[in-house]
Structure 1
C-alpha cells in the first residue's frame, strides 16, 4: 500500500492541507483536503507583522490539522509545511514559527517567489497532460494571482524564458484600498499602469503581444472557468477570451454579498475576487490569445509531486532543461556570448563527469555548475573590466527559474571568482557560509576556471579533448587543435585553485 504524503500551505488568506498518495502505476489519489481562512495578508500588508489574534488562529488551525493527519498515521515530522509571501514579509515571522514548532511540531519552511514558480510549473505540467505538446511548441504565459504576489512564467517555444514574482496580490491591493480609501476604479487605473510597465520590462524575454497561449492558475481563475468556460477534460477548462472579459466586466458590478450568494464562496474569498480577475484580464489584454486555459491545480499539488521519492528521469531532465533555458534567456537579455557560454558548459560537464567520484557532491551540483558556466561572463554587459564582479551583481539580483535563494548565492559567488587572482577563501562572507556550500563553491569554481581557460580565445581552438590522470597530474590532450597558446597561458593563470582543491597539476598537450 502506498504511503500517504501530506503538505500544508500557509498563504495570505488561509491555511490549506492536502493529503495524497501515489499508486504503483504512479497515479495520484487525493485522500483528504481542508482549507481554513486567516487574515495573515491583511495583518502583514498593513502593519508589517502577524497580530497576536492571527497567530492564535494559525496555531489552532495547525493543531486541528495535526489531529486530522494523525488519523492517516502522519506525524508533523513527516509533513511538509510551507509559507508564502505574507509570512515571508512579516517582521515577526521567526518568533511566530518558533511558537508553532514548540506547540505543534510543524517546522515551517518560508519559500521565495521563484520556488513558488517551480512548484506551480510542476503542478501545471502534471495537470495539462495531453495538452503538453502545445505547451512545448507555443509561446506561453503562465500566471497565478495570489493574495500577496502574482507569479508569472514566460515560455518561448516550450523553453523557460523568464520567471517572475511580482508584489501584486489581491490582499495587498485590498489593504491598499482600505488604507487610502481608494475606489475600485482607482485600483483599476493602478493595475493598468502597473501591468503596462511590467509588460515593457518583460519584452526582452518574450514578445508578450505575440503570445498565443495563456494559462491562468488559481481558485479565482477556476471560478471564472466554471461559470464562463467549458471543460476540456477532468480538472482542465478553457474560456473564450471574449467570454472571460465579459464575465470579469459583469462581475465588477456585483457587491461582495452578491458574489457570496451567486458563486457560493466565502466572504473572505469574495472580498478579493474583483481585483484578482482584473489582474488576469489586464495581462490577457496584452496578448493575442483567443482562449484561456485553466488547469484546476495549486501549489500544494506541485509540492506533493516534488515530494515523490523517485521522480521520473524524464520529468527531472525536463525540469533541468527549463532551468538551463531560463539561465540562457537571462544571458541573452544581457547580450552575452552564447556560443562561448555553451562551450564552457560542455567543458564543465566533461570535467565534472571525469571527477565525479572525487567531487562527491549530490547531482544537483552538476546543474549549478552548468548554470554558472552559462552566466559567468554576463557582467561584460556592464563593463569588461572586472566583469566577474558585475556578473556576481547581476546574478544576485536576478530571478532564475528553479533556483533557490541559497543556490543563487552560490552561483553569484562562483561567478565572482571565475577569474582573477582572488579566491573564495579570501572573502569573509564566504567563510560564514555553511561548510557544504563552501565546498560546493570551491569545487565548482575550480572546474569553471579551467573550462573558461580552455576557451580563452572564444573561438573553439580544438574540436574535443580527453582527460587522463598521471600521478599528481591531469593531462588534457586536445583533438583537432589549432593554435592553443592563449589557452595554455590562461590555464597557467587559472589552474591554481583546481590544483589546490583536487591536487592535480594541469598539463595541456
Structure 2
C-alpha cells in the first residue's frame, strides 16, 4: 500500500519540536526523526512582550536545521505552527518573516486550533471511552483545558498560565508561593454549565507531564497513568532541589528543570478541581496532531474518488464516531478492503461505483459493538440500515448493511431475512463484497500491505507482528473468498516463506 512521508514542526513557548514519520494509508507510522531545540520564546514574550532579535536569530537557525532535516528525509508534506509565545508577542510578523526566509511557512494558530490538534493526537492514542474526558495541555505560555469525547471537542478554555510564564510570575521557588500563583491562575477558569461531573478520565499532555511521568518510572513513550499520590510525592522531592541539582541528579534538560515544579503544582491542583485521582499521559501533543490532520486529509483523498464517495465516507465516519467506534481499526480495514477491491476487479467485475458500498460497510462493520459485542455483526447491519447516511440510496444502504453483517459469522444464505429479499445479482454483490471485507478484517495488523493476482491466486504480502496468526485468520476468514471466487489466498509475510491458505472449498 502507498507510503507517505509527513512532517510537523511545533514552535512552542519553551522549545521547538520536529517530528517526521512514514505513514501508510492505514495510518500506521514509522518515526523517521524526533528533534528538539530549546529556544525559550516565552522568556521574551512573557517578560518584555516582544521577541528579541537574538531570540529570532536562534529560532531561525533551528527552523533552518529542521527544514534541512525534512529535505534529507524526503518528507513531501509538512506543517509548522506556533502557539502562545508567538501569538501573544507584539511582533509575531518578525518571526514569521524569519521563518519564511529559510523556507518554513509558519502558521500562528489560536487556542482552539491548538486544542483540536492535541485532541487529534490523543484520540488516536487513547480510547476515550465511558463518557466525557478532561484534556489538559500545559505548555510554556498557556494552559488549555477542554472537555472531549472520542468524536468531538465539547468546549475548551485557554489561560495565560503556562509553565514558563508561571516561573516568571512566581520567581520565588517556595512551594507555598508557587501554590498561590497556581491557585490564582486556575481560579480564572470559567467553567461552562455543561462541564462534566464525574469525568470518565483526565488526560494530560505536554513536556512537563511527560518529564514527571518518566521521573515516576514511565519507560519510553508508551501511554501511562500518573496518580495524584505519585505526583504529590514527586513534587515534595523536587521542592528541595535547585534547578541545577535537578539537572545533575534527575537528568532533566536545563530548560525543563526550572519549570517542572510549577507544572507539578498545576496538575495537582487541577486534579483536585476536576475530582480525578490520576492523569493519563499519552506522550503525544501538537506535533502528532499535525501528522494526524495531514494523514486524514490524505486518507480521505485515498478513500474516495468521487463526490458521492466523499459524501458517503464523511457520513459513515460521523456516524461511527457517534457510535464510539474504533476509528483507527475501521480506517485500516477500509483501506485494505478498497485495495483488495481494485486488485480483484478481474474476478468480481463489479462497477466502480459499488466500491462506495464496500467503503461504508468496512468503516461501520463494528458499530454494532455499541449494542453488544455478542452478535455485533447483526447489530451493525441494523444500525447501518437505519442510519442517516447521505451518499447512499436506501437500496444501497441495505446492501452495505448486509455486507457489514456478513463480515463474520455465517456466510450469506437465501433463508436469511434481508438477504433473501434481494435480487439475484444483488445477492452475488453482497457475497463478493463480504468476501473482500472478511479478508480486509483479517489483515488489520498487517503493515505495508500489497495484494496482487498471480497465476489466478490472490497473493498478499506485508509485515505483521504475528505472521502465523495472520495466516490462521486468513484461513478462517478467507473461506468465503475461496468459495465465491474459486481462488486460493497466499500469505507472504515480508522476509518469510509463502504461507498458503487452506485448499479451495
TM-score category, normalised to shorter length: 0.5 to 0.7
3-state SS, counterpart of residue 18 of structure 1: strand
Q: Which residue of 2 aligns with 1:293?
A: 280
Q: Which residue of 1 aligns with 2:371?
A: none
Q: Which residue of 1 aligns with 2:66?
A: 65
**Structural mapping, 1:304-319, within 5 Å:** 304-308=291-295, 309-311=298-300, 313=313, 317=318
What TM-score results when the alignment is normalised by the length of structure 1?
0.56
Q: Is the alpha carbon distance of 1:303 and 1:212 closer, same or farther for their aligned partners in structure 2, counting shifts above 3 Å? A: same
Q: Aligned pair 1:115/2:103, yes or no?
A: no
Deviation at 1:157, TM superposition (A): 9.8
Q: 1:186-232 CA deviation, whole Å, 9 max, x = no partner?
A: 2311212332442xx31522145x3351111122212222332667x
C-alpha distance in 1 between matches for 2:149 and 2:35: 36
What TM-score results when the alignment is normalised by the length of structure 2?
0.57
Q: Report how many residues are paired.
A: 312
C-alpha distance in 1 between matches for 2:112 and 2:322: 16
C-alpha distance in 2 between matches for 1:150 and 1:318: 32
Match among 144, 147, 152 for residue 140 of structure 2: 147
Q: Which residue of 1 aligns with 2:266?
A: 279
C-alpha distance in 2 between matches for 1:84 and 1:66: 19
Q: Aligned pair 1:222/2:215, yes or no?
A: no
Q: Is the alpha carbon distance of 1:321 and 1:228 closer, same or farther for their aligned partners in structure 2, counting shifts above 3 Å? A: same
Q: 1:239-286 CA deviation, whole Å, 9 max, x = no partner?
A: 233222222232222211121123312111111111111111110012
3-state SS, counterpart of residue 300 of structure 1: helix
C-alpha distance in 2 between matches for 1:115 and 1:220: 21
**Structural mapping, 1:42-191, within 5 Å:** 42-74=43-75, 78-101=77-100, 103-128=101-126, 132=127, 135-155=128-148, 160-178=153-171, 183-191=174-182
Q: Which has the higher helix share?
A: 1
C-alpha distance in 2 between matches for 1:246 and 1:260: 18
Does structure 2 retain, via aligned residues, the 8 Å contact 1:6–1:74? Answer: yes
Does structure 1 retain, via aligned residues, the 8 Å contact 2:22–2:30? Answer: yes
C-alpha distance in 2 between matches for 1:100 and 1:139: 39
C-alpha distance in 1 between matches for 2:288 and 2:114: 12
C-alpha distance in 1 between matches for 2:208 and 2:292: 23
3-state SS, counterpart of residue 202 of structure 1: coil
3-state SS, counterpart of residue 94 of structure 1: helix
3-state SS, counterpart of residue 129 of structure 2: helix
Does structure 1 retain, via aligned residues, the 8 Å contact 2:123–2:150? Answer: no
Q: 1:21-65 CA deviation, whole Å, 9 max, x = no partner?
A: 212442011111110111210101111111010011011111212
Q: Aligned pair 1:242/2:235, yes or no?
A: no
C-alpha distance in 2 between matches for 1:92 and 1:318: 44
**Structural mapping, 1:402-441, within 5 Å:** none
3-state SS, counterpart of residue 137 of structure 1: coil
C-alpha distance in 1 between matches for 2:178 and 2:227: 25
Q: Which residue of 2 aligns with 1:195?
A: 186
Deviation at 1:139, TM superposition (A): 3.4
3-state SS, counterpart of residue 151 of structure 1: strand
C-alpha distance in 2 between matches for 1:321 and 1:43: 44
Structure 2: runs of 5+ lacking an equivalent: 304-312, 324-387, 392-505
Does structure 2 retain, via aligned residues, the 8 Å contact 1:14–1:36? Answer: yes
Does structure 2 retain, via aligned residues, the 8 Å contact 1:79–1:106? Answer: no
Does structure 2 retain, via aligned residues, the 8 Å contact 1:229–1:237? Answer: no
Q: Give RMSD over aligned pairs.
A: 3.0
Q: Is the alpha carbon distance of 1:195 and 1:219 closer, same or farther for their aligned partners in structure 2, counting shifts above 3 Å? A: same
